[in-house]
Amino acid sequence: MYLSAWLKVTRQDDVRLIFAGGDWRLSAVADLERQLKGLTGEFVEGAARPFRAARLVLENLGALDTAGGWLLLRTKQQLERHDVRVEMIEVQPRHAALLARLEQAHAEPPVPAPKPHPIHRVVEHLGSVTVHALSETYQLLAFLGALVITFVIGLVRWRRLRPVSIVHHVEQVGLNAVPIVALLSFLIGVVLAYQGSTQLVRFGAEIFTIDLLGVSVVRELGVLLTAIIVAGRSGSAFTAQIGTMQVNEEVDAMRIMGLDPLEVLVMPRLLALMIALPLLSFIAIAMAIAGGSLVIIFALDIPTVLFLRQLRSALDIQILVTGLVKAPVFAFLIAMVGCYEGLRVAGSADSVGRQTTKAVVVSIFLVIVVDAVFSVVFAAIGV
């Protein structure tokens, strides 16, 4: 049987009692809306003094649907926004569950946090990047310390070295890299000779293109170019190889067997690269001079004998040693970073790609930084 919805307001001491009865359904919403319209104003703008407490008595409530429950909750929320304490009493169990679900669904959303100032975001980002960079540097230095100790122990206890593995990696990073290193060095020599002669010919000093080519290639570009090529080729290969072993848990298996990954995986690659890079640098120097000589002899019409005489006067053993002495240091850095990033691979093949890219970038960065340090030191001691 359908019971019409009704609403009654009485006073008990300093508390207003709001009695709700009948069937609060969708069909009665319009009539209930009119009855509730002045309720908030009555509470806030009372004749003598406004009431600050109220109770919703739901004992006589009949059927209740979503629309009726929403009206009750809305009335409660409106009164609470005017500093009226509202309490629902004598709620029937069959209505309590619906009201609880409606109150949860219609809860006021949390106030969004204020957007930070753009300067704050920039400072926060810079701080995060700085902390991350310092952490990476600390971990790399710790790995460097462990690697130096392993390297010294390996040289002292040379019988523990793995010559087969070292020769294999010398072939991979050295012999197999000769074609690409030779080709790029030859082309760099051609470009350097062309660019230098274009400027020097204006002053009638094209003969000094030979000095420019020889000194720049032997002292600087030959070793630096080779190190960059090797960092992109062999450094990334070290990271990918060791990283794949990490993903397959082969490195963990080595540790369980009592084998040191630094001794088994890193040392052969490190020694192989320190052997191969000076040889590759010498090949790069020879090919760059050969490429530049073609331009100087045929484009500038300088005789071969004059070219060789001028090149010999421009170069000496000190310049060659100054260039090649950097090769083992660059090789150590490239192998260290490549193996370090490989050992840091974790999770999946996606991590292998990220660490490989990072290894190439960090290796080239360190090579250029150390090369700049060498230049400053050599200039300071007059070499």
pLDDT in tens, 251-304: 889 889 888 888 888 999 999 999 999 999 999 999 999 999 999 998 888 899
CA distance 357 to 66: 58
pLDDT for position 47:
41
pTM of the model: 0.69
pLDDT for position 170:
93
SS (H, E, C) 325-375: CHHHHHHHHHHHHHHHHHHCCCCCHHHHHHHHHHHHHHHHHHHHHHHHHHH
CA distance 71 to 31: 12
Q: With a cut of 50, which residues of the chain have pLDDT below it? A: 46-48
Tokens 């991590």 locate to 351
Amino acid identity of 294? L
How many helices (DSSP H) and strands (DSSP E) are in the chain? 17, 5
CA nearest to 95, candidates 40, 27, 25: 25
CA distance 355 to 361: 10
**283 token code pair:** 């090949």
Give the contacts of 270 (CB within 8 A, at least 6 positions apart).
147, 151, 331, 332, 335, 336, 339
**Coil/strand/helix, residue 264:** helix
**Coil/strand/helix, residue 238:** helix
Cα–Cα distance list, 152 to 149, 164, 267, 329 (Å): 5, 20, 11, 15
Amino acid identity of 355? Q
